[in-house]
Structure 1
Amino acid sequence: MTKRRTDGLSKELIVKAAKELLDDGGETALTFRALTTHLTTGYGAIYHHVANKSDLLAAATDDVIASVMTGVVVDAEPREALRTVALGLFDAIDAHPWVGAQLSREPWRPALLAVYERIGGLLDALGVPERALFDAAGALVNYVLGVAGQNAANARVLTLGEADRSAFLAKVAAQWADLDPERYPFVHKASAQLREHDDRDQFLAGVDIFLAGIATLR
């Protein structure tokens, strides 16, 4: 018989264990049965801190996003701080793919509010006029979370299929290169870049394009 833990079980420990289960197997792996086994404790000890799986998913998401937000230097130049926030979110969702789905599922939770508050505040500090601030923040947040979520989903599909990213991109690039250059001129030319591109670099290039456009709103 497995010996149950007798030391104090905090919400922080429960959230940490939940994140480990989520990272290993996705949302389906997070069950209270798996959690009790992982923590060698009983159901009652867990329910004392979290009401249900939804509550636990939200707490785990809040914890991941809070780590990103605290990693931004408060007195940094706004543009660089925005790039740091964006890249931090990209990396966090890449490491924890379930976070992206949770953010879109419950947009009223503290995690997404924290993202909007930080990005909106930095855009305000960058000099974006108030009349355009809401739209600018929404567009940038949607880009960051959308691309980060899609990248994480793509990476997970490749992992589950045991495919090598380089081999996969080489195959797709070869298919693009074989397309009729008159019908698909852009795709045909882009095939070489597709094979060698870095996801993080491309993502950050997109952020810079957004910021360049936002700069014209002043």
Structure 2
Amino acid sequence: MSSPRRAPLSRERILRAAIKLADRQGLEALSMRKLATTLKVEAMSLYNHVANKDELLDGMVDTVIGEITLPTRDGDWKAALRARATSALAVMTVHPWAPMLILSRISAGPNMLGYIEATLATLREAGFTWFETDRAWNAMDNYIYAFTLQQQNFPVNPEEYASAAAGYLPMLPAHVYPYMHEMTARVADGSHDGTLDFSFGLELILDGLERLRSTRE
């Protein structure tokens, strides 16, 4: 019985394999040689589809950006940007290596360009000036990436917050650090979960943009 025929090597297949490898082992584990081994091909055959590792990384960024829901242009700009931000967080959580790679590279792939264009269009058509649009877009993305990185690198898991807070409480005497003591005590006794809340910060940004926009109406 013959073995199943493998799909022919292509740029898309290479990028998807590289993303899966980075998802499992981290970006630092990614090399052209290891990628070739994963695909069961010779390393040199990869270069027929990607010129070098830099092009591979750019392609990975653009592929991941293509997984994010684009903001719709149906008039409800806040809902559109909320959906975009929530989708971006979900994608960055699935691909934990992606935020730093995106921030460290200038990507001009079709997915990235479409992503930026749709975001700018949503803000401009909502009535924001070019200056405000640029600041708003960057403020939202800075929040998304920073939140993702904090979530990924926070040293305590959510289910451990209460016990960790209880352990820190003796280091926070109430007469010296009254507010830190009270907050930590609330996490320790379970009356406050202390978890990171993406929606809270996102709504602050969107509400602030709404107030800015309403001053001209």
Could you tell me which residue of structure 2 aligns to residue 196 of structure 1? 193
1:15 & 1:114 partners in 2: Cα distance? 19
Could you tell me which residue of structure 2 aligns to residue 161 of structure 1? none
Q: 1:130-141 to 2 correspondence within 5 Å? A: 130-141=130-141
> Structure 1 residues 131, 109: CA separation in 2 closer, same or farther (over 3 Å shift)?
closer
Q: Which protein has the bigger helix share?
A: 1
Cα shift at 1:198: 4.3
Could you tell me which residue of structure 1 aligns to residue 56 of structure 2? 56
Q: 1:1-218 to 2 correspondence within 5 Å? A: 7-70=7-70, 72-75=71-74, 77-110=76-109, 113-154=113-154, 164-167=157-160, 169-175=161-167, 177-178=169-170, 179-191=172-184, 192-193=186-187, 196-199=193-196, 202-218=197-213
- Greater relative contact order (CA < 8 Å, ≥ 6 in sequence): 1
1:174 & 1:115 partners in 2: Cα distance? 44
Q: Which amino acid aligns with 1:45?
A: S
> Structure 1 residues 76, 173: CA separation in 2 closer, same or farther (over 3 Å shift)?
farther
> Structure 1 residues 120, 81: CA separation in 2 closer, same or farther (over 3 Å shift)?
same
| Greater than 6 Å deviation, 4+ residue runs | none
Root mean square deviation, CA, Å: 2.7
Cα shift at 1:135: 1.7
1:184 & 1:33 partners in 2: Cα distance? 54
> Structure 1 residues 47, 147: CA separation in 2 closer, same or farther (over 3 Å shift)?
same
> Structure 1 residues 87, 182: CA separation in 2 closer, same or farther (over 3 Å shift)?
farther
Could you list the runs of 5+ residues in structure 1 that have no partner in the other structure?
159-163
> Structure 1 residues 172, 35: CA separation in 2 closer, same or farther (over 3 Å shift)?
same
> Structure 1 residues 217, 83: CA separation in 2 closer, same or farther (over 3 Å shift)?
same
2:132 & 2:7 partners in 1: Cα distance? 53
2:205 & 2:41 partners in 1: Cα distance? 48
Identity score, percent: 28
Is the radius of gyration larger for structure 1 or structure 2? 2
1:187 & 1:124 partners in 2: Cα distance? 42
Q: How many residues end up aligned between the 2 structures? A: 204
Q: Deviations over 1:118-152 (max 9, x none)?
A: 33332223333344222222222211121122222
TM-score, with structure 1 as normaliser = 0.80
TM-score, with structure 2 as normaliser = 0.80
Cα shift at 1:100: 0.5
Q: Deviations over 1:78-126 (max 9, x none)?
A: 1111111111111111111111011111144446555543333322233
